[in-house]
Every structure is written in structure tokens, then in C-alpha cells.
A and B are shown apart, each in its own frame.
Chain A
Amino acid sequence: MSDSVWIIGTSMTKFGRYPDKDTVDLASEAALGALDDAGTTMADMGVLAVGCLLEASAMLGQRLQKQIGQSGVAVYNVANACATGATAVRTALLAIKAGEADLGLAVGVEQMGKAGLLGPAGQARSKPAGYTPSGRYGSVMAVEGILGTGLMPGVFAQAGMEYASRHSGVGFEQFAKVAEKNHAHSTLNPLAQYQKAFSLEQVMGAEMVAYPNTLLMCCPTGDGAAAVVLCSGAKLKSLGLDVRRRAVKVSASVLTSDPYVESDTAQPDVSTLTKMAAAQAYEAAGVGPADLDLVELHDCFATAELIHYENLSLCEAGGAGDFIDRRGPWRDGQTPVNVSGGLISKGHPIGATGVANLYEVATHLRGEAGDRQIDGARVGLAHVIGLGSACAVHVLERAAS
């Protein structure tokens, strides 16, 4: 069993729209970039895990292999909602931890095109023929819009408003400040889908999608890929000095699902499993929130980011509104959050997201983040949540030098 696992190579494509490329093109670009960054090749990989929500059932991992290197090793095709990419990383990590491989490649990729903010569920209601109760709720028609909403913008809006109902000092303006910050951060990230700053007034005045989330407070759909090369601690010792110097330790890798809560009957609870994952990750890594130099967290909507400040213990209980008001999560604040621009501005190609946030954190820990570098970063945390739910938290640490 390997005592430790390290990231020795990482890469991501710029997020955006690639109508002239296919999913394998994007995955190849990220995978070859990460292998090159690690100074290794597919021939050395003992395991391959590929996360892609829309094509996980179409042997994407093997199709990737057939473009960049077939060697007969185990391939895992992974889907886990918005935690898909992080779950792929964890799948490769587990193979290394189990001693089945010394080196592994994890790739996250998605090509969404212009799927629209509401996705496939945002289609027109079908016309009723004869009412027949069906399914687990005995429903006679699709109930979206009749019995509330189950689509992402509304679900995460309701998650944020529930927090607002329990804590004073949290409202539309605090949620909007989150998006103002992430759009501002993205102007320093050349890999972000959008790199445009907006004033708080512009954020609040944008088209309302699901109150309190305006269009500028919702992540876009898009295309992109990211990859990491993982290495066992034992294997790392045999690699060159430059690889060892740039290696980033995976100090914690945690995946949770939702425990039972009473409100599951209304909508998934995105907080409890995040709190559990964070607590387990801090324990495993032996670090606390105060040790974090940067955090990349799952800001699919501005309301989500705000509640995750508390879920990840970046602020005191009930203090998320105050945390953003005093600019705690800005890049020059107490704990920089989403200096990449976050999902809101960097983009959210679903399967790529959980790998791309490891790319971001690792790049800062290596001191290679260019204009957006958080100086002297030593410890960082990456968080994703897939509704339904799956939550992954990884803690990364710079190699002691």
C-alpha cells in the first residue's frame, strides 16, 4: 500500500466553446499536456480514469487511449454528476493507494456546447393524452413549475435562501458580491471562459434567472478538459529532481454522499455532505481552514459559494455574509476563494471541473500561476459537489523544499 500520492503533472484546456473539436480531442489535449508536464508518457501509466458526464457510457476512456496510447491497463469510465472529474481523480488515486499502480492518469472532460442554462430538463412540457399515475410519486404529468422547481438554478437559489432565512446579514447583495468577486478574479486567468469584470450594480441588474441568482451569478455551459498525473510516494523517489521539486502532495482525498436529512423530501441538501467531506479532509491532511492559502470551491451559482464558506469552515457559523462583506474570499483577503474565476466565470464543463480545480490549486502551489499567483501558497483545498449528491474535497500541499 502506498503511503502517499502526488500530482506530478497537470494541464487544462482553456474553457470555452469548441464546436470544431470532439470530446476525445479535448481529453487528448489535457492528457498529453499533463503527461508532458510530468515528463512521462502513456506507456508508464498503470491506470487511467476518465470522467465525463455525457459520454461516460460510451467508452470514452478507451476512445482516448486509442488516440494517445493503448497499453492494456485498467480503464475506468466515471460519472458522478458535477463531482465526475474529482471522482475520476479519486479512482486513479485509489488504484495507487491499493498498490495496483505506481503512476496513473485522471482526465475530466465535457463538451456541452450551448446546452442552455436549464439543460435537457428545460424542455417544453409534453401535451397530456390520458392521465395515468406513473413513477415513484404517482404523477400524471411532469411537475416542474407546478410543484416548485427541481432545476439547478432554482435548487441552488433555494439552498442559499434557506441559509439567508437562518442567518442575518445575508441577502441578494451578499450573493451578488460573490459573483462580482469571481468575475474580477477571472480577468487574471487566461484559461477562463470569460475574463470580464462586472460591477456589483451590473451583477444585481442583470437578467434575473432564479431569485436571487441573476444571469451573472450562474455558471455558463461550455467545453473543456483537464488532467492530472498521479504518482505514488515510493515511485516519486525514483524520479528526477525537477519532477520531485514540482510535485504536489495529495494530503486528503475524500468523497461523500448525502446522509439522511428530513428535508430530502423537498430537495437535496448540499451542505451536510460538504461539511462531512471538509471535516474528514482536514482530519486526514492534518490541516485546518486557517492553514489554507487558497480554495477552489463549487460556485455553480453565487448562492452556492456563499453557503460553502461556512460548509468548508472558512468563516464562523452564520458568518458567510460578513465574510464576503469584508472581502475575506477576495484574492487579497483572508482566504482567497476561486482565484481562477470559479465556475461562474472560468466555466463549468461538468466532467472537467473537478480536475481543473486541482490544476488551479496545484499550479499555485508550484508557484507557476503567473499573474494570478497567490504568493507563497503552500496549502490549498479543492471542492466540488454534484447534485444528487456527491461531494469531493481534496487538500493539496507543496512539497517541502
Chain B
Amino acid sequence: MVPATASKRIPVVDYLVIEGEPHLEANACVACGALYFDRRNACARCGKLEFTRKTLATTGSLRSYTIIHRAAPNVPVPYVSSVIELDGGGVVKANLVAAGTDPEKIELGMKVALTTFPCGHDEEGTEAVAFGFVPA
């Protein structure tokens, strides 16, 4: 559903790519393969300086989670924060969405897949897009 006034979209962080099939990208150390989501000065693992962009898998497994009931004002609760181990490498933190907030129904180790959702608009009408994970 694209509005008539072709509004712009922007990823909430620069390691999320929303063009085409949404996915995450990492800075990969050319020497040792260590992955990072932030801008790098050097590799924390091996100290080398050269990096390349690497496309990460959109599937993974639930390594850990917590259900947040007390949060900053304006953050809707409860919500599930999770640590996801991506297939083929990379560990990322994101919300686990569409899985409910009942700990009895959230299974550690379960398979998950990347999803995106709007997380705000600025005054110019640009939509910010975030990522999360859903049970696969």
C-alpha cells in the first residue's frame, strides 16, 4: 500500500537494508571474518583495518530473550527483546514480534525470520523502518 504522495522510507539503523528483500548487513573483517554492525576503526578481534560489507541471513534462532514490562515512557509494554543467532553467522538484538508475551509460549532455540515494521514518522513525512523477528 503506497500512499499517493510518494513518501520516503529510511531504515532506523544503517545496517538494515530495506530496498528489495529486507536484510541486515555487517562490516566483515577481511582478515578474520569478525562481523560488526557499527562503523569501525579496526577489528576488535585481530586488529586489522580492512572491512567488506557482508549480507547476513534473514533466518536464525532464538538465543535468548526477556519480556520487558517496565520501560521508558513512550515505549509500549510488554514487549519481547531477543538475541538472535543468524544462520551463517552474526548475532543481533531485536524485538521478537508476533510471538506473544507469555514465557510459556516462547521457546528458546526456536527458528525465527526477519521482518520489518514502521517505527515512526518525522515532520517531513519520512517513515522510519525497523526490523524484528517472527517465529518461522
Tell me the A residues contacting B by CB distance below 8 Å.
Answer: 117-118, 121-125, 128-131, 133, 136-141, 143-151, 153-154, 157-159, 161-162, 164-165, 172, 207-213, 260, 262-267
| Chain B min CB distance to A48 (Å) | 34
> Which residues of B sit under 8 angstroms from A212, Cβ to Cβ?
66, 103
| Chain B min CB distance to A219 (Å) | 14
Which of these, B39, B128, B132, contacts A131 with CB under 8 Å? Answer: B128
B74 touches A125 (CB 8 A): yes
A130 touches B69 (CB 8 A): no
Given contacts A148-B93, A161-B108, is CB(A130)–CB(B122) below 8 Å?
yes
Chain B 61-79 against A: per-residue CB contact (8 Å), 1 yes, 0 no? Answer: 0111111111111111011
A148 to B80, CA, bound (A): 7
B66 touches A265 (CB 8 A): no
| B124 to chain A: closest residue by CB | A130
Give the total number of A-B pairs whose CB atoms are below 8 A apart: 176
> Which residues of A sit under 8 angstroms from B39, Cβ to Cβ?
136-138
A266 touches B83 (CB 8 A): yes
A154 to B94, CA, bound (A): 12
B14 touches A211 (CB 8 A): no
| Chain A min CB distance to B70 (Å) | 5
Chain B 6-44 against A: per-residue CB contact (8 Å), 1 yes, 0 no? Answer: 000011111100000000001000000011111100001
A165 touches B108 (CB 8 A): yes
Q: Does B126 contact A (CB under 8 A)?
A: yes
| Chain B min CB distance to A168 (Å) | 11
A124 to B71, CA, bound (A): 9
Q: Does B113 contact A (CB under 8 A)?
A: no
A263 to B90, CA, bound (A): 8
A263 to B83, CA, bound (A): 9
B14 touches A123 (CB 8 A): no
B66 touches A158 (CB 8 A): yes
A164 to B108, CA, bound (A): 8
A153 to B26, CA, bound (A): 27
- Among the interface residues A122, A145, A153, A208, which one has the most CB atoms of the partner chain B within 10 A? A145
- Among the interface residues A139, A144, A157, A161, which one has the most CB atoms of the partner chain B within 10 A? A161
Which of these, B44, B79, B128, contacts A141 with CB under 8 Å? Answer: B128
B92 touches A210 (CB 8 A): no
| Chain B min CB distance to A264 (Å) | 7
> Which residues of A sit under 8 angstroms from B67, Cβ to Cβ?
208, 210-211
Q: Does B82 contact A (CB under 8 A)?
A: yes
Q: Does B100 contact A (CB under 8 A)?
A: no
| Chain A min CB distance to B112 (Å) | 13
B37 touches A137 (CB 8 A): yes
| Chain B min CB distance to A119 (Å) | 10
A118 touches B13 (CB 8 A): no
Which of these, B12, B34, B103, B128, contacts A211 with CB under 8 Å? Answer: B103
| Chain A min CB distance to B19 (Å) | 15
| Chain A min CB distance to B124 (Å) | 6
> Which residues of A sit under 8 angstroms from B79, Cβ to Cβ?
145
| Chain B min CB distance to A34 (Å) | 37
A140 touches B35 (CB 8 A): no
Q: Does B91 contact A (CB under 8 A)?
A: yes
A207 to B3, CA, bound (A): 43
Pairs across A and B, CB under 8 Å, 10 listed:
A118-B71, A125-B72, A128-B123, A130-B122, A137-B37, A145-B75, A146-B119, A209-B69, A210-B70, A267-B93
B122 touches A265 (CB 8 A): no
> Which residues of A sit under 8 angstroms from B37, Cβ to Cβ?
137, 265
> Which residues of B sit under 8 angstroms from A145, Cβ to Cβ?
68, 71-72, 75-76, 79, 95
B119 touches A124 (CB 8 A): no
> Which residues of B sit under 8 angstroms from A151, Cβ to Cβ?
71-72
| Chain B min CB distance to A67 (Å) | 37
> Which residues of B sit under 8 angstroms from A140, Cβ to Cβ?
10-13, 122, 128
Given contacts A260-B34, A260-B44, is CB(A165)–CB(B69) below 8 Å?
no
